[in-house]
Structure 1
Amino acid sequence: MTEIRTPRLVLRRWLDDDLAPLSEIQADPVVMRGIGDGRPRSPEQTAEDIEAWEEGWDEEGFGMFAVELLGSGELAGAVGLSVADAPTEVAGQVAVGWRLGRVFWGQGYASEAAHAALEFALQDRGLDRVVAVFRTGDSASANVVDKLGMEAEGVTQHPVHGYDLAVYGIDLTQYQE
């Protein structure tokens, strides 16, 4: 089983016990405002998300990790990798993404977990490049990609919902610098 430990976190595969806390996180409209259509997700939709993330692990050898606080074992959210299907500028590329419960914001957890996921992608899985895509104006996500050393590559529109998306990227040579 794939597991990564950082100074404060454990990134691991999903367990049945993760459904309830992740459902609570994804039911928060503030957490979900920049993801997909921006609407909160039901427990059934959250179960589908976890199932899809686990299928990604089985098919790709990487996916979204459950992020657990090392000290308490509390689920903080999801951080990891997925193959982007949109926007067209990054379709087919591996993207790093994150969503944490609001109580975990502002403590550096997203950056810490995303850094571990990026390192996993580039060093363990041998990927040459990783992108990040997030809604423009999301200063917290901009801060995370800055800490990851990712570079802005442009702005595009969400293909379904029409809002602006910032596109960032990093390749293995940039990461190792």
Structure 2
Amino acid sequence: AESDAMADRCQALIEERGWGFWAVELKASGAFIGFVGLHTPSATLPFSPCVEIGWRLAADYWGQGLASEAAWAALKTGFGTLDLSEILSFTAIENRRSRALMERLGMRETEEFEHPGVPVGHPLRRHCLYRLDRERFAAQLAAAE
């Protein structure tokens, strides 16, 4: 029920704005494996307002380049179609896998903060913030071609 409610919220935001967290499916089978996309966080964060890139894939699909492939597509949409000047991402300090993906995407860690949506004293409350601006992303695309 919780997962369905989140999917409904994601769909409503996409219908409202035309973008958001998109479902990720395997090309071969069409199986749903998670989401990747762009979002405006509802929590008041120290760097608000902003647009974040985020992802959540089922563990069976980690380490296969799927989040990376989908994240690149989301960044192209953000900097191209939406003409954003900067896209952020953040995660709990201990989330090494997400941090590694942020770095592969060319994002740079800029600060740490206490996430207001995580209870005080919880081990995941401390987060790190990564940033990527349009110029750096364009340079990465040019270098890849």
Asked if Structure 1 and Structure 2 have the same fold, meaning a TM-score greater than 0.5 normalized by the shorter chain, the answer is yes
The residue that corresponds to 1:171 in the other structure is 133
From 59, 64, 67, give the equivalent of 2:24.
Answer: 67
Residue identity opposite 2:63 in structure 1: G
From 55, 59, 62, give the equivalent of 1:105.
Answer: 62
C-alpha root-mean-square deviation of aligned residues, in Å?
1.3
Q: Give 5+ residue unaligned stretches, structure 1.
A: 1-43
Quick one: distance in 1 between partners of 2:41 and 2:110? 16
Quick one: distance in 2 between partners of 1:168 and 1:133? 6
Quick one: distance in 1 between partners of 2:12 and 2:49? 16
Q: Please state whether the residue corresponding to 1:153 is helix, strand or coil.
A: strand
Question: Where does structure 1 differ by over 4 angstroms across 4 or more consecutive aligned residues?
Answer: none
Quick one: distance in 2 between partners of 1:174 and 1:55? 31
Residue identity opposite 1:57 in structure 2: I
Matches within 5 A, 1:17-166: 44-86=1-43, 88-161=45-118, 162=120, 163-166=125-128
TM value normalised by structure 1: 0.71
Change (3 A) 1:160 1:76: closer
Residue identity opposite 1:121 in structure 2: G
Count of aligned residue pairs for this structure pair: 134
Identity over aligned pairs, percent: 30
Change (3 A) 1:134 1:153: same
Deviation at 1:96, TM superposition (A): 0.5
Q: Please state whether the residue corresponding to 1:116 is helix, strand or coil.
A: helix
Q: Give 5+ residue unaligned stretches, structure 2.
A: 140-145
Matched-pair contact (CA < 8 Å) for 2:114–2:126: yes
Quick one: distance in 2 between partners of 1:157 and 1:173? 29
Q: For residues 8-41 of structure 1, what are the alpha-carbon distances to aligned partners after superposition, in whole Å with 9 as ceiling and x for unaligned?
A: xxxxxxxxxxxxxxxxxxxxxxxxxxxxxxxxxx
Change (3 A) 1:66 1:150: same
Quick one: distance in 1 between partners of 2:117 and 2:3? 21
Q: Please state whether the residue corresponding to 1:86 is helix, strand or coil.
A: coil
Q: For residues 136-174 of structure 1, what are the alpha-carbon distances to aligned partners after superposition, in whole Å with 9 as ceiling and x for unaligned?
A: 121100111011111111000111324111100111111
Deviation at 1:90, TM superposition (A): 3.0
Residue identity opposite 2:70 in structure 1: A
